[in-house]
Amino acid sequence: MHDVGRIAGVSQVTVSRALSDPSKVSPETLTKVMGAVEATGFVPNAIAGALASRKSRLVSALVPSITNVVYSSMVRAFSERLRAHGYQILLSETGFAPEAEEATVVAHLSRRPDAIMLTGIQHTPQARRLLLAAGIPVVELWDVSDSPIDLCVGFHHVDAARAAAEFARDRGYRVAATVTAADERACRRRTGFAERFTRDTGNPVPDFDTGGAASIAAGRQGLAGLIDRHGIGGGLIYCSSDIIAHGVMIEAQSRGLRIPDELAVIGFGDQEFARHLEPALTTVRIDLAQLGQSAADAVLSRLDGQTPPSPVIDLGFEIVARASA
Amino acid sequence: MHDVGRIAGVSQVTVSRALSDPSKVSPETLTKVMGAVEATGFVPNAIAGALASRKSRLVSALVPSITNVVYSSMVRAFSERLRAHGYQILLSETGFAPEAEEATVVAHLSRRPDAIMLTGIQHTPQARRLLLAAGIPVVELWDVSDSPIDLCVGFHHVDAARAAAEFARDRGYRVAATVTAADERACRRRTGFAERFTRDTGNPVPDFDTGGAASIAAGRQGLAGLIDRHGIGGGLIYCSSDIIAHGVMIEAQSRGLRIPDELAVIGFGDQEFARHLEPALTTVRIDLAQLGQSAADAVLSRLDGQTPPSPVIDLGFEIVARASA
DNA sequence: TTGTATGCGTTATCAT
DNA sequence: ATGATAACGCATACAA
C-alpha cells in the first residue's frame, strides 16, 4: 500500500481507504489509486487487514464429509449467502467422530473466523468450551438441540424417523428392518423408527449396521446381511440414506424380489436420483438449501449485532410417498 | 501469549517457541507453558503468526462445484495429504466460467495462501498474471496443458474421448450421438469423440447440449431431445458424465428401449453407481484420489524447495467396458 | 478529504 | 535455553 500510494501520490492510509471504502476519498484520488493498483497488480493482504481490524471476514464450516451431497448442498447454500456479504468459507471435513472434530475446531479457531458452522450437536466438552470462549456466532446445523452452543438450525431426526414408521404402519406393513450407516444421527433415526414401529405393530425391527459410510455397496451388503442373518424375506426396509436405499433396491432386484410387493424400501434425503429410480423411492425430504440459507442468515444477523428471535430453528421434514413403499 | 507466559513464569517469546517447536525449550518450561495453555484455553492466533512468518499454512483450492463428486473426491484426497503436512484448505466454488474464477482467485490470493490449486487450464489472462505474480506453487488439476502456469496434474480429455470413440467403433457401433453438460472440458471431449467417430465411420454425431449442470433430469432431456430433434432411435450415446448417462438410461428404459441392444450408453467418470446400474454402465475411469494426491505431492515438493521432475503429470484414464455398450 | 501515529499478536533476529 | 526488540502490512483514532 505504501508503494501504491507513492505511485498515486498519496499516503498509505489513503490507499487503504480507497480500497476498503471508496466513498471516503475524493473521486480524483480514487482514480489515481486505482490506476496505481492496476499498474502494480497489487492485491491487498487480508491477513494484515484481519490482524489490524480484528475481523477476518472468514467463516468456518465443518462437515463430516464433503463428498456426501447432503452436506455439500448445505455448505453450498451457506457459502453463497455468506459470500454475498463478503465472507469467505474455510471448509473442513471432520469425519463422524467428535474427537476428530475437536482437533479441527482448534485449527479453525486459530484462524480467528468471524463465525463458525458445525454439523450436528454432538461435540466434545472441550470443543464446546473453546467454541463458547471464542466469543463468535456458532451455528449447529442439521439437527435441533435443547442446549445449543449458540444458534441451531435443523430438524428433529427422531420425529422424522417416527413419521416414517407411522407412514409404514399406515401403508399396512407389519414387518420391517433397517440398514444404517455409521453415523450418530443415522443411528438415532434407526432407533426412533424401530421403537415406533415396534410399539405400533408389536414386531421387533432387526438392524444391519454397515459400519462405514453410506454407499450402494453398503446398501447391497445390508440387505444381503438382513436376509442371511435374520431371514428377512419381505416387509419394509428403512434405510439411513437414499444411497443405502438405492443399494438395497439393487440387491433386491438382483435377487428377484419385486419392489414394493415383496420388499418395500424407504430412504432418507430425497436426493435427485430418488424420484428417477424404478420404482421411484419413497423417502424423507430435507430442504438442504433452506437449511444452509437459514444458518447463514442466523449468522449474519448475529454478525450484525442483532439477536435472532429464536436461537434454534426447526425446519422440519416431509415424507415423500412414491412407489417403493 | 503474554498472559500465558506470565502464568508460566516465562516470557512471551518462550511461549511462542514452546508452541511452535517444543525442542527449543527445556522440558520443565515446556510443562509449565503447556499447563498455562490448558488452564487458559489459549488458542494461538494463526493470523498474527502468518503475518509475522509470511507463511499462512493455508492452501487454496478452487473447483467448479463442490456438490459434484468428481471434484469433491479430488479435493478430499488433495486436502488429506496436505493436512497431514500441517496445511489447511481454503475451498471455494468457481462455477464453470473463467471470469467468475478470476474474482475468486483474487479473493484467495488476498489471504496469502502458501499454494493454490485450480481446476482446469482455462483461466483469464488477468488470473494467470496474478497467479504468476503471487510467487507461490500453483497446480492446475483435472487436465493437462502445454503451457502450465506452474504445475499441472490431470489427463488428456480429447484422448479419453477418442478412446471411447474407438471403443464404440470396435464394438461395431455405426451410429452415435452425444449428450453434453455445460462445461468446457465436457465440450472438448464431445468434440474429440465426434471427430474420431465420424472419421472412422463416416457418420455425423449429433449433440444435445444440456445447457446446465449434469443431472439425471438433464440426461433424460438429452435423450428425449435427441430422439425428437434428430430422430435418433438407436445406436450409441456418449455422455459427458455418468450422471448424464444415468439419466439417458432411465429415459431409454422408460421408452422401452433395451440397453444395449437398441440403445448403447457410455458414461464418464466411473462413479460408484455406474457398476451397479442395470445394465452396468460402460464408462471412462479417472483415478480421482490419485489425481488429488499427486497434486498435493507436487505442491508439497515445491513448498519444500524442490523442483519436481516434470511440471505436468498425465495420469491417464481407463475405458471400463461393462454391459451398457 | 487527507495524513500521522499507534497497535493488532505473532515470528525472526539478535543478544545474553 | 531464554529474553529484548524489531518487523509483518494493514486499520483505527486522532489531528490537520
Cβ contact, residue pair A43, B106, below 8 Å = yes
% of residues, chain B, pLDDT over 70 = 100
% of residues, chain A, pLDDT over 90 = 96
Question: Does nucleic acid strand D have an atom less than 7 angstroms from the CB of B47?
Answer: no
Cβ contact, residue pair B72, A73, below 8 Å = no
Q: What is the pLDDT of residue A109?
A: 98
Task: Give residues 288 to 317 of B whose Cβ lies within 8 Å of A.
Answer: none
Cβ contact, residue pair A217, B89, below 8 Å = no
Q: Whose grid coordinates read 488458542?
A: B43
Which of the four pLDDT bands, split at 50, 70 and 90, describes residue A230? confident
Q: What is the pLDDT of residue B20?
A: 95
Would you say the C-alpha torsion A266, A270, A275, A276 has a positive or negative sign? negative
Tell me: the pLDDT tens digits for A273-307? 999 999 999 999 999 999 999 999 999 999 998 88
Contact call for residues B15 and B1 (beta carbons, < 8 A): yes
Question: Does nucleic acid strand D have an atom less than 7 angstroms from the CB of B6?
Answer: no
The backbone torsions φ and ψ at residue A54, rounded to the nearest 5 degrees and listed phi first, read 60, 25
Distance B82 CA to C15 C1' (A): 37
Q: Which grid coordinates belong to A145? A: 438441540
Q: Is B84 on the interface with A (CB under 8 A)?
A: no
Interface probe for B, chosen from A111, A131, A136, A223 (most Cβ of B below 10 Å), is A111
Q: What is the pLDDT of residue A5?
A: 96
Distance A38 CA to C2 C1' (A): 22
Residues of B in contact with A110 (CB under 8 A): 43-46
Query: What nucleotide is nearest A11 when CA is compared to C1'?
Result: C3
Q: Whole-angstrom Cα distance, residue A274 to residue A283?
A: 8
Q: What does the DSSP assignment read for B112-178?
A: --SEEEEESS---HHHHHHHHHHTS-EEEESS--SS-SSEEEE--HHHHHHHHHHHHHHTT---EEE
Q: How many CB atoms lie under 10 A from the CB of residue A129?
A: 13
Tell me: the pLDDT tens digits for B12-64? 999 999 999 999 999 999 999 999 999 999 999 999 999 999 999 999 999 99
Helices B184-201/B157-170 angle, 10° precision:
40
Q: What is the pLDDT of residue A46?
A: 98
Tell me: the pLDDT tens digits for A144-162? 999 999 999 999 999 999 9
Q: Whole-angstrom Cα distance, residue B306 to residue A81?
A: 40
Tell me: the pLDDT tens digits for A32-81? 999 999 999 999 999 999 999 999 999 999 999 999 999 999 999 999 99
CB-CB: which of A45, A72, A246 is closest to B66? A72
Distance B5 CA to C3 C1' (A): 38
Q: Whole-angstrom Cα distance, residue B181 to residue B196?
A: 20
Residues of A in contact with B247 (CB under 8 A): 276
**Is the per-residue pLDDT at B69 higher than 90?**
yes
Q: Which grid coordinates belong to B22? A: 517444543
Contact call for residues B102 and B81 (beta carbons, < 8 A): no
- The stretch B219-236 carries a mean pLDDT of 92
Which of the four pLDDT bands, split at 50, 70 and 90, describes residue B230? confident
- Beta partners for A61? A91, A117
Q: What is the pLDDT of residue B308?
A: 83
Give the C-alpha distances (Å, rounded to integers) separating B301 from A27, B142, B310: 47, 19, 12
Q: Whole-angstrom Cα distance, residue B171 to residue B272?
A: 24
CB-CB: which of A41, A47, A66 is closest to B66? A66
Cβ contact, residue pair B47, A47, below 8 Å = yes
Residues of A in contact with B89 (CB under 8 A): 91-92
Cβ contact, residue pair B43, A106, below 8 Å = yes
Task: Give residues 238 to 277 of A whose Cβ lies within 8 Å of B.
Answer: 246-247, 250, 253, 272-273, 276
Q: What is the pLDDT of residue B188?
A: 98
Question: Does nucleic acid strand D have an atom less than 7 angstroms from the CB of A44?
Answer: yes
Query: What nucleotide is nearest A51 when CA is compared to C1'?
Result: C8
Tell me: the pLDDT tens digits for B185-218? 999 999 999 999 999 999 999 999 999 999 999 9
Which of the four pLDDT bands, split at 50, 70 and 90, describes residue A234? confident
Taking the mean position of all CA atoms in its chain, how far away is CA B18? 38
**Is the per-residue pLDDT at B233 higher than 90?**
no
Question: Does nucleic acid strand D have an atom less than 7 angstroms from the CB of B46?
Answer: no
Residues of B in contact with A72 (CB under 8 A): 66-67, 72
**Is the per-residue pLDDT at B232 higher than 90?**
no
Give the C-alpha distances (Å, rounded to integers) separating A74 from A178, B20, B140, B264: 26, 35, 27, 36
The backbone torsions φ and ψ at residue B153, rounded to the nearest 5 degrees and listed phi first, read -130, 120
**Is the per-residue pLDDT at A309 higher than 90?**
no
Strand B318-320 to A236-239 pairing? unpaired
Name the helix (H) or strand (E) containing A254.
helix A242-254
Tell me: the pLDDT tens digits for B126-135? 999 999 999 9
CB-CB: which of A75, A108, A215 is closest to B66? A75
CB-CB: which of A76, A90, A273 is closest to B66? A76
**Is the per-residue pLDDT at A96 higher than 90?**
no
Kindly report the pTM of this predicted structure: 0.96
Contact call for residues A156 and A313 (beta carbons, < 8 A): no
Taking the mean position of all CA atoms in its chain, how far away is CA A52? 32
Question: Does nucleic acid strand D have an atom less than 7 angstroms from the CB of B52?
Answer: yes
Q: What is the pLDDT of residue B38?
A: 95
- The stretch A236-257 carries a mean pLDDT of 97
CB-defined contacts A:B, below 8 A: 114
Interface probe for A, chosen from B65, B110, B215, B221 (most Cβ of A below 10 Å), is B110
Chain C bases closer than 7 angstroms to a protein Cβ = 1-5, 7-13
% of residues, chain A, pLDDT over 70 = 100
Residues of B in contact with A112 (CB under 8 A): 45-47
Q: What is the pLDDT of residue B90?
A: 96
Task: Give residues 171 to 210 of A whose Cβ lies within 8 Å of B.
Answer: none
Q: Whole-angstrom Cα distance, residue B303 to residue B114?
A: 8
Q: What is the pLDDT of residue B47?
A: 98
Nearest in space to B116 (alpha carbons), one of B84, B78, B86, B85: B78
In sequence order, the 6+-apart residues with CB closer than 8 A to the CB of A279 are A259, A260, A322, A323, A324
Nearest Cα of chain A lies from the Cα of B51 at a distance, in angstroms, of 6
Q: Whole-angstrom Cα distance, residue B275 to residue B239?
A: 16
Tell me: the pLDDT tens digits for A165-211? 999 999 999 999 999 999 999 999 999 999 999 999 999 999 999 99
Mean pLDDT for all residues in chain A: 96
Tell me: the pLDDT tens digits for B264-287? 999 999 999 999 999 999 999 999
Q: Which grid coordinates belong to A203? A: 414386531
Name the helix (H) or strand (E) containing B238.
strand B236-239
Q: Is A47 on the interface with B (CB under 8 A)?
A: yes
Residues of B in contact with A108 (CB under 8 A): 88
Tell me: the pLDDT tens digits for B94-153? 998 999 999 999 999 999 999 999 999 999 999 999 999 999 999 999 999 999 999 999
Q: What is the pLDDT of residue A222?
A: 97
Q: Which grid coordinates belong to A291? A: 437449511
Q: Is B13 on the interface with A (CB under 8 A)?
A: no
Q: Is A132 on the interface with B (CB under 8 A)?
A: no
